[in-house]
Structure formats: C-alpha cells, structure tokens
Amino acid sequence: MAEQLIGDWIVYREPQRNGGRRAYIAVARVLRVEADTRRAGYSYAVVGDYLPFDRPVPFANKGAYAEAALREIGNPSRVGAYLQGKSIRIISEADFAAIVRTGLGETLAPVNAIRLDLDPFQLDEETVEYLEAPLAEQARRIEQILLNRKIREANFRRHVCEAYDNRCAVTGLRILNGGGKAEVQAAHIWSMRVARTSFRMAWRCRAPPIGSSIVILFH
C-alpha cells in the first residue's frame, strides 16, 4: 500500500501504547519508498514538507472518530480489532482536510495573525485569501495551505517561540510589544534539509531540535 502514497500527503498518528497521546500530530508528503537493505520485507518512506500540528488532534472527540471507516463501526470496542495490521490506511480527502485544519487551528486563527507574522497588511494576496477563507473553503484548499511558505513559517515560529517561552535563547530577554507579539525571531540552528530526520525524531520527544528563539537585535 505504501507505494500508492508516493506523491500524496499522509498524516501521522501517535498510538496510545507507551504513553502515546492517541492523536494525529503532523502531516507530510511521501516522496519515495526505499527498501530496507538490512531487513527483507521492510521499507522506508522518504517524506518532504513535514509540518507538525499546533496541537495534537484527538483520535476521537466525544466518541466521534476522525476517520470515516472508524465512524462506521457500530461497536466502539471493535475499533482496536479493526486497526490491527492497518498502521497504513487510506482516509478520505474530507477527513484529511478536517484533521489538518484542526491541527493548524492556532496558526490559522485570525487572533494570532500579528503574533505569528501573518498580519494581512504584510502578506501577499494569495496568503491573505487562504487565511480569510471560510472553514469549508480552507478545507477544500488544504494542500495549497500546507505548501504556503508564509503559513509554514508561522507554524515554525509558533513552535519555537512557545518552546522558549518567547525568550531569547542568547540573552534570556522576554519582550512583548503592545500587540502581544514577542520581539524574537524563530531562527534555524541548521538547515532543514540536513535536520529533517533529526527533526522528526526529536519532535516525538517534544524538543525544539532545529530552531532557536533570538532577539531581533542579535539575529
């Protein structure tokens, strides 16, 4: 099934076992699938455009599952049995869009626009159109939103600034302007291309592996 996903988007789900959050946590696009040269029958999926969600999206919310196939199961106690052997499975475009839109809810929220450098007065027309679109329209154009550079940078800024409590990693200063925006910039410690694998591994540990919060004066 993995080969069917090449060129398409996937959503990461963290299982409940080993203290997991039982939630969807990130999205990425499958670039290619490579066979594991050490273990027969195993493969690696090489991904790009990885984007962590602002907050984990619950696997089920008030008893309603995020995936249509699970909602169709009449007895919730049978969901676990259904998922056995289905670590990779196809979900509908509508469910994918709903999960992603929920996961990026804080980045896309108008109330956070200034704080995340998504002020409409400083953005290109296309990005403003995405941000101001109704929820249904955002869901329909979810791929364009996922690939939008300004939105991706805002997501990165939110994660890094939150990890450092809006403080400069060099000086420890925490400066908020009148609009509540932190006077720091989220800076890459090293290239995303080099850090891609480390980022995925460290994100599971909830650590900020590739970004640092720097006061503008020092950046």
Percent of the chain at pLDDT > 90 equals 37
149: its two tokens: 């550079």
Give the span between the Cα atoms of 208 and 206, in whole angstroms.
7
Q: How far apart are CA 13 and CA 216, in angstroms?
A: 36
Report residue 217's pLDDT band, with 50, 70 and 90 as the boundaries: very low
Q: pTM of the predicted model, to two decimals?
A: 0.78
pLDDT at 114: 84
Question: In the block, which residue shows the tokens 């020092």?
Answer: 218
- Most confidently modeled of 146-155, 158-167, 205-214? 146-155
Residue-wise pLDDT for 121-146, tens only, equals 889 999 999 999 998 999 999 999 99
Q: Assign 185 a pLDDT band (cuts: 50, 70, 90).
A: low
Given a cut of 70, is residue 213 above it in pLDDT? no
Alpha helices in the chain (DSSP H): 68-71, 79-83, 93-103, 105-108, 125-132, 135-140, 142-147, 149-163, 192-204
What pLDDT digit, counting tens, does each position of 98-113 carry? Answer: 999 999 999 999 988 8
| Backbone φ and ψ of 218, nearest 5° | -100, 0
User: What pLDDT is stored for residue 106 in this prediction?
Assistant: 94
Q: Assess whether pLDDT exceeds 90 at residue 24.
A: yes
pLDDT at 219: 44
pLDDT greater than 90 at residue 189: no
pLDDT value of position 197? 42
**Looking at the predicted structure, is the pLDDT value of residue 150 above 90?**
yes
* 81: pLDDT strictly greater than 80: yes
* Mean pLDDT in residue range 63-83: 86
| DSSP-derived 3-state class of residue 17 | helix
Is the model more confident about 147 or about 168?
147
